[in-house]
Structure 1
Amino acid sequence: MNHLLAVAVNERLNEAFEGPRGVGSMFTDPNTAILETLEQLSSEEASMSFHGTTVAAHADHTRFYLWGTNKVLKKGKQPDMDWGESWRITSVNETQWNRIQDGLKNEYFTLMKNIDSVDWNTQTINEALGSLAHSAYHLGAIRQMVKSVKDSQ
């Protein structure tokens, strides 16, 4: 059972962050996953504000909660987290934007490795599934914001 759970969670996280292989899958189409979507944006586009937030803030918030999930899966407890801090980004330059994307990729790939080696219990299952749902939510929010970015040009 644990092996099947790890495989299923990894497949859905992969879909959310890297996209489906071939045609559409459970909830994404080709070139619409988080990492692919962010790579298409300049720092100026990532800094455009919509309803008080930016794609850069969503991306960094995603990196932040994946970091927290990785800590829970490795250490068994939630680290101290300043959730408000993860939303304070209002604009980024190219260097900052690249750093956010690299940090997000690092936390995502770390999570994929952690899921393969985690001792599954109620806490770790809830943490992994919560991060999957949280990632799907932010994927949708980012995709809607990117549509507004592209429509405004």
Structure 2
Amino acid sequence: MLLEKRFKRGEYEMSGALQEAVMIMLKEGFEGPTNPQETWFTNNKPDSGIFGALKGASHREASTSVNGTTLAGHANHIRYHMWGTNEFIRSGTYPKMDWDKSWEPSSVGESSWVEVQEQLRSEYMALISALDATEWNQAIANEVMASLSHSAYHLGAIRQILKVAKTG
């Protein structure tokens, strides 16, 4: 009975401390640690978040296929997932998602690689702004935690692809 009440959807508000922790983790995952000597899950180097990892890649490296995926594909997939999160926060419902298309483009030229990165940063900034202006509830907390986990997974994949793309 206690477990049923505890996990009932929407029953609890997110604490300020936990909400702040989620924001710190999101920022570290994308922007890198504020202080590289005090990281939670990224490397102890500046620019070790998603933006820094992608910034160091050329458009050729971003188009290098490693086990069927590319940096460009991962970057757009993260952006697309984040767009879905932003839509959920705005409307309370999930948009129709085409996950296969989320991996496109897999190959980019110099200018389109810059554009992919800018679109990712724009969607991220929209998420940070939305989260700052939104009253959190259980559904939003779940969605944001899923987005954080999803992005952290892809940060690891991006790092692995970079190892191959930079040596190839």
The TM-score with structure 2 as length reference comes to 0.86
- What's the % identity of the aligned pairs? 44
Asked if residue 49 in structure 1 is aligned to residue 65 in structure 2, the reply is yes
Q: 1:26 aligns with which of 34, 37, 40?
A: 40
State whether residues 76 and 104 of structure 2, in contact with CA within 8 Å, keep that contact through their aligned partners in structure 1.
no
Question: More displaced, 81-90 or 50-59?
Answer: 81-90
Measured in 2, the distance between the counterparts of 1:57 and 1:90 equals 5
Structure 1 runs (4+) greater than 3 angstroms displaced? none
Displacement after TM superposition at 1:4 (Å): 2.2
Asked if residue 73 in structure 1 is aligned to residue 89 in structure 2, the reply is yes
The aligned counterpart of 2:30 is 17
Q: CA RMSD in A?
A: 1.2
Paired letter, 2:39 = S
Measured in 2, the distance between the counterparts of 1:64 and 1:44 equals 22
| Structure label with greater radius of gyration | 2
Alignment of structure 1 residues 63-142 onto 2, 5 Å: 63-142=79-158
Displacement after TM superposition at 1:8 (Å): 1.1
Paired letter, 1:90 = S
The TM-score with structure 1 as length reference comes to 0.94
Aligned residue pairs: how many?
152
Displacement after TM superposition at 1:84 (Å): 0.7
Secondary structure of the 2:100 match is helix
Secondary structure of the 1:100 match is helix
Measured in 1, the distance between the counterparts of 2:104 and 2:120 equals 16
Which blocks of at least 5 consecutive residues in structure 1 are unaligned? Answer: none
State whether residues 2 and 120 of structure 1, in contact with CA within 8 Å, keep that contact through their aligned partners in structure 2.
no
Question: More displaced, 119-128 or 66-75?
Answer: 119-128
Give the structure with the higher percent helix: 1
